[in-house]
Amino acid sequence: MGKTWDQLEELQPTVLKMLRNSLVKNRVAHAYLFEGMRGTGKREIGLLLTKALFCNSLMDGYKPCEACNNCRRINHGNHPDVHIVEPDGLSIKVDQIRNLQAEFSKKGVESLKKVYLISHADKMSVSASNSLLKFLEEPNPGTVAFLLTEQQQQILPTILSRCQVLAFHPLAPQVMMKQLVENGVKPEKAPLLAQLTNNLEEALKLNVDEWFAQAQKIVVKLYEVLKKNPLEAMVTLQGDWFLHFKEKEQIQRGLDLLLLIFKDLLYIQLDRQDQIVFLGESERLKQFALQTSGRRISDQMSAILEAKRKLEKNMNPQLMMEQLVLKLQEGSSFV
């Protein structure tokens, strides 16, 4: 079963308030574009509104009952008037949109309503986008479209202008931490995971990932040797870092972890202990925070963000990391 209205309202209060008003006033748009990062509830809320449109026993005029035949079939993905389109390989092909149009030119199997949900709408080929545009220009009465995307800038402006665009905000870390703990993550691990990803599924995978557990240890070790001498830091880079962080995505993850260590130091200095995410290292970090200044930490965080940008632009990862380590040590009062 999908999440209930109340559960999803906790994740995206603004979006749900707007959708509730549309349902109560009977002003549901014929096309919506849900845009926001992965894991923010776009698909679940698209299906929630779909259930509200088909539900036989709506509660309070907008909440699906989750128990009637229509709600149950939508939850199980087998309602004849609800169609979901996913990318076929790397893109959504024109044939997929044409098949959808053919399906929608027929009468609804059980009612006059029909809903289609296009996942990763930014992955439509040019011809698929043009085909969808014709569809959106002459919507059948009773038809509602949901387009979901993490990349709004990739959607044709002519398609955007025909949709009601709703922005899905990243989940508040507190909400994410609560979800993680409810899913069996230890409370001391939840803050770090909630900072690294907005996607519950990804966070749960990271929680049991041996590579990720090792990555945290290497990042903490690198931070510690930064304070000793440049040579030892370079030895750690060669001996540990480069052997563990190989792919571009893995290196970005390592830099994210390093950034969070410096953030923790800053929070300790600002006496905001409740914001710390490296909870297992908090006592050591408190000692380190006494040995540096807020300005120094800010400079070091800027250097890490700059390294992330260089990596995105395909700079040689080894050179980028060596430069970063030297920069993190520059002007340090405790090298």
In one letter, which amino acid is 128?
A
Helices (H), 168-316: 173-182, 190-196, 200-207, 210-226, 230-236, 242-244, 248-269, 282-290, 294-312
CATH code matching the domain that covers 209-329, chosen among 1.20.272.10, 1.10.40.50, 1.10.10.10, 2.70.98.10 = 1.20.272.10
Residues ≥6 apart with Cβ < 8 Å to 238: none
Q: What is the pLDDT of residues 108-156, one digit of tens each?
A: 667 778 999 999 999 999 999 999 998 888 877 888 999 999 989 999 9
Residue 86 has pLDDT above 90, yes or no: yes
Contact 70, 79 (CB under 8 A): yes
Joined together, the tokens standing for residue 118 give 């296009």
Average pLDDT over residues 73-85: 93
Q: How many CA atoms within 13 Å lie on the side-chain side of 15?
A: 30
Domain 5-167 sits in CATH 2.60.120.460: no
Extents of the domains making up the chain: 5-167, 209-329
Average pLDDT over residues 239-267: 95
Joined together, the tokens standing for residue 156 give 């044709």
pLDDT at 334: 40
- Pick the closest to residue 33 from 124, 127, 141, 125 (CA basis): 124
Q: What is the mean pLDDT of the chain?
A: 90
Q: What is the pLDDT of residues 1-49, one digit of tens each?
A: 567 898 898 889 999 999 999 999 999 999 999 999 888 889 999 999 9
Q: How confident is the model at residue 104 (pLDDT cuts 50, 70, 90)?
A: confident
Calpha distance 266→315 (Å, rounded): 29
- Tokens 């149009």 belong to 101
Q: What is the pLDDT of residues 155-202, one digit of tens each?
A: 999 999 999 999 998 888 888 899 899 999 999 999 999 999 888 888
Q: How confident is the model at residue 333 (pLDDT cuts 50, 70, 90)?
A: very low
Q: pTM for this one? A: 0.68
Calpha distance 294→269 (Å, rounded): 7
